[in-house]
């Protein structure tokens, strides 16, 4: 086993601001035997509805969106600084409709609790979707954010997920 399960509350040295916004992570989903992952740099980790929770965002035109919409569970895979080239150039720019991004990046799928993840990850959160909605233009109070982040009006779908399990790479 490459990973060992830990209590999500015992994650030491995880700076969510850095891990999400600077190092990035992969949202990985599978539906109908098709799996795919995409880079994310927007998200949240915390507590909501008395559960360990993760919030992630996927634009509707992304191939991963189709899979995430149909999957009950997804994984959030964190890698650290060393994987930014693969996360940016392959998982962040190429489409899983056209190629196997994992193979292109030299990454290897594994399954944790039946959910696809990556062997190369240092941390994997196995998540169950609890709530979904669309970001809506009419709800913006800061219209500069809307104009800057959504010039094409391609608003993200928001997924609020329960973090069911956390796995760290065994060393």
Phi, psi of 70, rounded to the nearest 5 degrees: -95, -20
Q: Which of 85, 60, 73, 62 is nearest to 31 (CA)?
A: 73
Q: What is the pLDDT of residue 1?
A: 60
Q: What is the pLDDT of residue 80?
A: 81
Q: What is the pLDDT of residue 81?
A: 78
44: left (phi over 0), alpha (psi -120 to 50) or beta: beta
Tens digit of pLDDT at every position of the chain (171 positions):
699 999 999 987 889 999 999 999 999 999 999 999 999 999 999 999 999 999 999 999 999 999 999 999 999 999 987 898 999 999 999 899 989 999 999 999 999 999 999 999 999 999 999 999 999 999 999 999 999 999 999 999 999 999 999 999 987
Q: What is the pLDDT of residue 91?
A: 94
Cα(2)–Cα(115) distance, integer angstroms? 15
Q: What is the pLDDT of residue 114?
A: 97
Q: What is the pLDDT of residue 98?
A: 87
Q: What is the pLDDT of residue 103?
A: 95
Q: What is the pLDDT of residue 102?
A: 95
Q: What is the pLDDT of residue 82?
A: 86
Q: Which of 70, 60, 16 is nearest to 38 (CA)?
A: 60
Query: Where are the chain's structural domains?
Result: 3-169
Is the domain spanning 3-169 CATH 2.60.40.10? The answer is no
């Amino acid at each position: 086993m490459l990973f060992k399960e830990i209590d999500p509350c015992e994650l030491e040295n995880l700076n969510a601001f850095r891990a999400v916004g600077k190092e990035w992570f992969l949202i990985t989903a599978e539906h109908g035997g098709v799996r795919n992952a995409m880079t994310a740099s927007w998200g949240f980790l915390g507590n909501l509805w008395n559960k360990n929770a993760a919030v992630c965002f996927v634009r509707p035109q992304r191939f991963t969106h189709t899979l995430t919409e149909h999957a009950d569970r997804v994984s959030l895979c964190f890698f650290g600084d060393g994987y930014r080239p693969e996360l940016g150039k392959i998982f962040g720019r190429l489409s899983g409709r056209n190629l196997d991004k994992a193979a292109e990046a030299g990454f290897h799928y594994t399954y944790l609790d039946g959910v696809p993840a990556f062997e190369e990850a240092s941390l994997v959160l196995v998540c169950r979707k609890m709530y979904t909605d669309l970001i809506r233009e009419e709800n913006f109070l800061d219209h500069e954010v809307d104009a800057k982040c959504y010039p094409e009006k391609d608003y993200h779908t928001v997924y609020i997920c329960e973090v069911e399990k956390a796995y760290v790479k065994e060393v």
